[in-house]
């Protein structure tokens, strides 16, 4: 997991890579894994980061270019919503 986070940090330091589909997909996976193991605080932090990434990219409408990423972001946004309450 630490290697994943190192690679993610590298991608986030590059403004172009930070909002790429693959980077967003990695963060979605981190949200899911954190939620599955019961680490709700971490899942929420990843969701906040994911939200910022989507906004930097231009919002959800821009994700329509890749429907798989759009579905994953929306699905996990709704599935983890109870964690945020």
- Per residue in 63-74, pLDDT (tens digit) is 777 677 766 766
Round to whole Å and give the CA distance between 33 and 22.
16
Q: What pTM was computed for the model?
A: 0.76
The CA distance from 27 to 9, in Å, is 11
Higher pLDDT, 58 or 84: 58
* Residue showing tokens 């930097």: 56
pLDDT band at 4 (very low <50, low <70, confident <90, very high): confident
Contacts of 15 (CB under 8 A, 6+ apart): none
> Are 25 and 35 contacting, i.e. CB atoms less than 8 angstroms apart?
no
């Amino acid at each position: 997991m630490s290697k994943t986070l190192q690679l993610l940090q590298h991608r986030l330091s590059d403004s172009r890579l930070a909002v790429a589909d693959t980077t967003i997909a990695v963060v979605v996976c981190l949200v899911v894994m954190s939620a599955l193991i019961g680490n709700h605080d971490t899942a929420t932090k990843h969701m906040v980061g994911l939200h910022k990434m989507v906004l930097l990219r231009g919002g959800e409408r821009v994700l329509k270019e890749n429907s798989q990423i759009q579905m994953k972001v929306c699905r996990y946004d709704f599935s983890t919503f109870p964690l945020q309450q």
